[in-house]
Copies of this chain bind each other. A is one copy, B any other.
């Protein structure tokens, strides 16, 4: 009963986020699919993202200066990068899906499917009496410092290559999400 109430609350939150256009379009079909299954519901998730992150070197939290849940162009990146001071890291991070399961058995069942779909780092993040939380993610990453004191450290040719690699990995992420959706649709 606790699970059912939590799921209702989570779906209400998701609806509110959708109204605010705060849900990643590429993820909607998968989230809908998971939430239709009686033993699961989703919480915060992302289809993969490219970010420019300010590294504050321990002085407070690192700060996201620009964020895209889509492929980017070199121009878009440079436009944002030129506005940034300090020390900036370029990051591509793979999709991450958080799913609450009714119990550890149901979590385990979804975990097997997630690994099969290529989400090598999928795991049960916590088992508590009130909820079992799965974190589904993979290994694709790009992460490097690109500015120091506001000066761009990487020439345009290399930056263009980094952008192309990030976009390619973003596509791999979407492909894995599709594979996961396909497998979940066949789950009883």
- Identify the A interface with B (CB < 8 A): 104, 107-108, 111-112, 115, 121-127, 135, 137, 141-145, 148, 153-154, 157-158, 161-162, 165
Complex interface: chain B residues within 8 A of A137 (CB): 121
The docked-state distance in angstroms from the alpha carbon of A125 to that of B107 is: 11
A-B contacts, 6 of them at CB < 8 A, read A104-B127, A121-B121, A121-B123, A123-B135, A143-B143, A143-B144
Q: Closest approach, in angstroms, between the C-beta of A20 and any C-beta of chain B?
A: 27
In the bound assembly, the distance between CA atoms of A45 and B111 in angstroms comes to 21
Across the interface, name the chain B residue whose C-beta is closest to A168.
B57
Q: Judge whether B165 and A158 touch: CB under 8 Å.
A: no
Determine the distance from Cα of A121 to Cα of B111 in the docked complex, in whole angstroms: 15
Query: Measured between alpha carbons, how far is A33 from B14 in the docked complex, in Å?
Result: 43
> Could you say which of B111, B112, B123, B142 contacts A144, with CB atoms under 8 Å apart?
B142
Q: How far is the CB of A179 from chain B (nearest CB, A)?
A: 16
In the bound complex, do residue A121 and residue B135 qualify as a contact, i.e. CB atoms below 8 Å apart?
yes
A143 near B142 (CB under 8 angstroms)? yes
Q: Are B127 and A108 in contact (CB under 8 A)?
A: yes
Contact B126 A145 (CB under 8 A): no
Nearest to A157 among chain B residues (CB) is B153
Is B165 touching A161 in the complex (CB atoms < 8 A)? no
Closest-CB distance, A171 to chain B (whole angstroms): 13
Residues of chain B contacted by A123 (CB below 8 angstroms): 121-125, 135
Contact status B135-A108, CB under 8 Å: no
Contact A162 B145, beta carbon cutoff 8 Å: yes
Q: CA–CA, A165 to B112, complex, Å?
A: 35
